[in-house]
Amino acid sequence: MSDFLRTFWSTLSSLIHRLGQRSFPDSCLRGIPGENDLLEDGLVATSVFLFTDNHKKASGVYEQSINWHDDDLAISLTLNQTRRNGELQFKGGVAVMKRSRIDSLSKLPLFKNSLSYERQPHLRNRYHGNLLLEPGFSKPLRKAMAATLATHVSRTISQP
């Protein structure tokens, strides 16, 4: 029976994943971890968009968690995400990034077509996805990329 459940679960997860790759909404949501990461005038700290060595796929591709803005529930889900200790995960709120901006930025010489995204839904968060960066970029360049992404945030949503 447990084998059946495992197989069922694996098949269901795979189906959810495949369905999710078909389409993307106009924008995605990047959580802003700390209150200090939301600057004056609604600007977002560069570090919010930094691709780090701590977050890589097995292939070496860098990834940053996002939630896809499929509907307004995605915003409330993101704002209310909590850590294991019950604290809000994104005390600074949410940064909204237009997908068309991500596509444009990836074509710039700084990014060399290395920036992309994916859906990665799971049972507790069907909106989940990732910004992806191909491997092989130096730390100064990754920080320049983070600054560029932060500059192109379309708007921020603070915690109520």
Binding footprint of other proteins on the chain (CB under 8 A): 39, 41, 43, 45-47, 52, 104-105, 108-110, 138-141, 143-144, 147-148, 150-152
CA 57-62-65 angle, 5° bins: 90
HSE at residue 29, side-chain half, CA atoms within 13 A, is 27
Select 45 or 97, whichever has its Cβ closest to other proteins.
45
- The answer to whether 33 and 92 have CB atoms below 8 angstroms apart is yes
- The answer to whether 99 and 28 have CB atoms below 8 angstroms apart is yes
The distance of closest approach from Cβ of residue 87 to other proteins in the complex, given in angstroms and rounded to an integer, is: 17
Select 77 or 110, whichever has its Cβ closest to other proteins.
110
CA distances from residue 137 to 51, 53, 69, 80 in whole angstroms, order as listed = 10, 11, 28, 33
Select 73 or 108, whichever has its Cβ closest to other proteins.
108
The distance of closest approach from Cβ of residue 61 to other proteins in the complex, given in angstroms and rounded to an integer, is: 20
The distance of closest approach from Cβ of residue 85 to other proteins in the complex, given in angstroms and rounded to an integer, is: 18
